[in-house]
Amino acid sequence: MLLKGRKILVGISGGIAAYKVYDLVRTLVKEGASVRTVLTPSALDFVSPLVLATLTGSKPFYRWDEESPLAHVELAKWADAFLVAPATVNTISKLALGLADNPLTAAWSAFAGPKLVAPAANTVMLQNPAVRNHLETLRRWGVEVIPPDRGLLACGDEGEGKLADVDLIRDHLVRALSPKPLKGKKVLVTLGATREYLDPVRFISNGSSGKMGLALAKAVFYLGGEPLVVAADAKVSVPERFLVRRVETAGEMLEACLELFDGVDAVLMNAAVSDYRFSKRFDKKLKKSQKRLTVELEPTPDVLAELGKRKKRQKLVGFAVESENLEENALKKLKKKNLDAIVVNPVSVMGSDRYEGTIIFADGRKKELKAPSKEEAAYEIVSTLLGS
């Protein structure tokens, strides 16, 4: 619910992807945002003002009349952020030239807050040098250009030009409306559960879903930083744009983290790394021939402790799930591994969407956290730990 109470003006231009805007405005409204819409004349061929009015609870602006001669200025004053989706090559070009010849372009020129465009068009149209130039101009002026997706386009061509996914557009809006304390910073985020194999098909692991780790990576993005995700086995799907490495075992996790460590400003070690692995890993699948099988476990490498030894400028944050003596155990771990902070939660948080926990800092300070969702908790954790 990071968009709750935010006022978002959605500009719709006349591209075939405009039908997806119903889904987009619905998503934003469900999240508690106030949404109003402004249309170009050609957009009226692609979407219905009646449907938009029903979904947003607000009359779309698509024509000046005597009752609303200054609607473009009023909308611009009202909005916290202005997103054009889909943005046709025609509208992109007009925005870059400062034209104000229809309700959308006029409202855009009257708006001084965070601006975003989500282009959608045939690949060749988007690669046209004039359009590329115009997009570059918009970027230079601080407009966020949400990259279009690749795939099968309405014209039958395969390539780049599909309107970005609704969830990605929503994430860019959250970022546009957030402070940017992490601008220029790279943050390594590990997530998921490692696996330690007994044979090629059997392993020990744990129930970590990767949900909190993904929420942390997104929070880094919202706050202006670049998340570099190393993912062990996870139930959530990690967007390609964040993912730098997939790993399975604790050993692979250590290797990946050591490789990336020098180039990052902070590490959020959220993966649930196995503490033990089998002393012997069988090459072939074990047969069920023996009555009793005794296996021996040995400790895995301690990824956080290794990073703690090598730490220079990086902030190192650990996460701990504890079933008893939460804070006492977490503090011990923090000291032993040379961490800057540790976030500790009770076991009940695993698999649940609600979140409660405590941040413990190296200097002994504490901050209690309670949030209705992991997304909101992650946002607070990242702003508290890395935001200054």
Distances (CA, A) of 1 to 10, 81, 94, 331, 376: 18, 16, 33, 31, 7
CA-based torsion, 93, 96, 99, 100: positive or negative: positive
C-alpha atoms less than 13 angstroms from C-alpha of 272 in its C-beta half-sphere:
23
Contact between 247 and ligand FMN (CB under 6 A)?
no
CB of 99 to ligand FMN, least distance (A): 10
Contact between 91 and ligand FMN (CB under 6 A)?
yes
Contact between 14 and ligand FMN (CB under 6 A)?
yes
Which region among 12-20, 66-74, 165-173, 240-248 touches ligand FMN (by CB under 6 A)?
12-20
Distance between alpha carbon 61 and the CA centroid of its chain, in Å? 31
Which region among 82-90, 191-199, 227-235, 319-327 touches ligand FMN (by CB under 6 A)?
82-90
Contact between 128 and ligand FMN (CB under 6 A)?
no
Contact between 188 and ligand FMN (CB under 6 A)?
no
Among 27, 42, 68, 109, binds ligand FMN (CB under 6 A): 42
Rounded-to-integer distance, Cα 59 and Cα 262, Å: 53
Contact between 208 and ligand FMN (CB under 6 A)?
no
Give one word for 325, left, alpha or beta, with left for phi > 0 and alpha for psi -120 to 50. left
Among 9, 25, 43, 47, binds ligand FMN (CB under 6 A): 43
CB of 52 to ligand FMN, least distance (A): 15
Residue 117 or residue 254: which is nearer to ligand FMN going by CB?
117
CB of 13 to ligand FMN, least distance (A): 3
Contact between 17 and ligand FMN (CB under 6 A)?
yes
3-state secondary structure at position 74: helix
Size, binding site for ligand FMN by CB under 6 A: 15
Binding mask 314-353 for ligand FMN (x = CB under 6 A): ----------------------------------------
**Residues 6 or more apart whose Cβ sits within 8 Å of residue 72:** 38, 61, 64, 100, 103, 106, 107, 110
Rounded-to-integer distance, Cα 311 and Cα 328, Å: 24
Q: What are phi and psi of 378, to 5 degrees?
A: -65, -40
Q: What are phi and psi of 147, to 5 degrees?
A: -60, 135
Distances (CA, A) of 232 to 195, 297, 307, 308, 322: 8, 20, 18, 21, 21
Contact between 90 and ligand FMN (CB under 6 A)?
yes
Neighbouring-strand partners of residue 320: 344
**Both tokens assigned to 88:** 């046709």
For residues 293 and 286, is the Cβ–Cβ distance under 8 A?
yes
Which region among 118-126, 236-244, 309-317, 344-352 touches ligand FMN (by CB under 6 A)?
118-126
Catalytic site residue from 97, 124, 130, 155: 155
Among 88, 190, 274, 314, binds ligand FMN (CB under 6 A): 88
Contact between 121 and ligand FMN (CB under 6 A)?
yes
Decide if 155 is catalytic: yes
Residue 75 or residue 121: which is nearer to ligand FMN going by CB?
121
Contact between 120 and ligand FMN (CB under 6 A)?
yes
Distance between alpha carbon 300 and the CA centroid of its chain, in Å? 31
Residue 110 or residue 154: which is nearer to ligand FMN going by CB?
154
Q: Which residues are at the interface with ligand FMN (CB under 6 A)?
A: 13-17, 40, 42-43, 88-91, 120-121, 125
